[in-house]
């Protein structure tokens, strides 16, 4: 009976988090397409949704199966599916998330301001990502992919094979999981430079990696210490700060 109830809660948690991430996937439809696409716009936009939907589904499943084993959680989502108060669950996460987002957003604004003199003109004049994509995909879906899915998996691997599943994961493995997931998050932004036709110079690559990994480390720490929703709040605040500053 208890096993069946636990399985039911996991299915509900997966469904809730998946539904939380899907609007971000759908927001990708607002991205402009290249003018020389040889097939219909509807087909291309439909295909655009396949990969992120699959990645979201796998990431949510990984988190649901592994997060509780390594001391990670999505307290608000868990409270929701368990019939407890989501408001009480979000309270301890709000202030850390807001502070982390504000500090990260200000730091990123400083980096952008200091870099304007040498950034390529094509990069500076590139059409900005629509706000709906920044907030829904960047703020929510990316956290499900990179923290709930990837970081959880990396921490579980360290705990499982490096620690032999003994006790809670050591802080060292947490640091490794945060650093690796942050690095991969930053590297995932490099194809954007290729799409703009820019050469991957060491200076430009370093700028992209620094800018994106800085917040990813903060988000990883918030996820570890407070919960997934703290990282989501921080990510939303970062995009608000960057949007106001542009």
Q: How far is CA 47 from CA 12, 33, 51, 110, 226, in A?
A: 27, 12, 8, 37, 36
Q: Give pLDDT, residue 202.
A: 85
The residue behind tokens 């500090």 is 103
Q: How crowded is residue 202: how many other Cβ atoms within 10 Å of its Cβ?
A: 7
Q: What pLDDT band is residue 201 in, cutting at 50, 70 and 90?
A: confident
Mean pLDDT of the residues in the chain: 90
Q: Give pLDDT, residue 43.
A: 65
CB 141 within 8 A of CB 21: yes
**Which element (helix H / strand E) includes 23?**
helix 2-27
SS3 199: coil
> Which tops the pLDDT comparison, 130 or 39?
130
Q: What pLDDT band is residue 10 in, cutting at 50, 70 and 90?
A: very high
Q: Give pLDDT, residue 3.
A: 57
The residue behind tokens 């923290």 is 147
Q: Give pLDDT, residue 213.
A: 94
The token pair at 227 is 């919960």
Range with the lowest mean pLDDT among 101-105, 113-117, 162-166? 113-117
Full 3-state SS string of 66-95:
HHHHHCCCCHHHHHHHHCCCHHHHHHHHHH
Q: Give pLDDT, residue 36.
A: 53
Q: How far is CA 216 from CA 26, 192, 223, 234, in A?
A: 23, 18, 10, 10
CB 97 within 8 A of CB 234: yes
Domain spans of the chain, in order of start: 2-245
Q: Give pLDDT, residue 31.
A: 81
The DSSP symbol for 126 reads S
* pLDDT, tens digit (0-9, with 9 covering 90-100), for 28-66: 988 876 555 554 565 666 777 899 999 999 999 999 999
CB 97 within 8 A of CB 232: yes
Integer Cα distance of 63 and 99 in angstroms: 25
pLDDT at 1 over 50: no
Short-list 211, 231, 210, CA closest to 220: 231
Q: In the chain, pLDDT over 90 holds for what percent of residues?
A: 69
* pLDDT, tens digit (0-9, with 9 covering 90-100), for 153-174: 999 999 999 999 999 999 999 9
Short-list 31, 229, 213, CA closest to 139: 229
Alpha helices in 73-201 (DSSP H): 75-82, 86-115, 121-124, 131-132, 142-143, 152-157, 171-187, 191-195
Integer Cα distance of 192 and 198 in angstroms: 9
Q: Give pLDDT, residue 105.
A: 96
* pLDDT, tens digit (0-9, with 9 covering 90-100), for 228-243: 999 999 999 999 999 9
Our CA angle for 141, 63, 89, nearest 5°, is 80
C-alpha torsion sign, points 68, 72, 76, 77: negative
pLDDT at 178 over 80: yes
Integer Cα distance of 160 and 166 in angstroms: 8
Q: Give pLDDT, residue 150.
A: 97
> Which tops the pLDDT comparison, 111 or 120?
111
């Amino acid at each position: 009976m208890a096993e069946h109830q636990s399985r039911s809660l996991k299915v509900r948690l997966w469904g809730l988090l998946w539904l939380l991430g899907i609007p971000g996937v759908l927001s990708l439809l607002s991205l402009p397409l290249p003018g020389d696409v040889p097939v219909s716009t509807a087909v291309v936009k439909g295909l655009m949704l396949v990969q992120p939907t699959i990645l979201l589904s796998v990431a949510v499943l990984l988190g649901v199966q592994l997060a509780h084993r390594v001391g990670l959680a999505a307290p608000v989502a868990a409270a929701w599916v368990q019939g407890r108060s989501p408001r009480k669950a979000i309270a301890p996460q709000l202030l850390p998330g807001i502070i982390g987002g504000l500090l990260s957003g200000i730091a990123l604004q400083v980096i952008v301001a200091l870099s304007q003199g040498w950034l390529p003109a094509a990069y500076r004049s590139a059409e900005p990502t629509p706000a709906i994509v920044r907030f829904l995909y960047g703020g929510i879906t990316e956290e499900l992919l990179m923290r709930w899915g990837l970081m959880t998996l990396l921490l579980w691997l360290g705990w499982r094979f490096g620690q032999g599943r003994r006790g809670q994961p050591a802080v060292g493995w947490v640091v490794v999981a945060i650093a690796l997931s942050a690095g991969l998050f930053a590297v995932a932004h490099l194809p954007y430079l290729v799409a703009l036709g820019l050469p991957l110079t060491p200076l430009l690559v370093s700028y992209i990696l620094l800018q994106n990994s800085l917040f990813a480390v903060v988000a990883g720490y918030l996820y570890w210490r407070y919960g997934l929703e703290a990282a989501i709040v921080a990510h939303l605040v970062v995009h608000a700060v960057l949007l106001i500053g542009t």
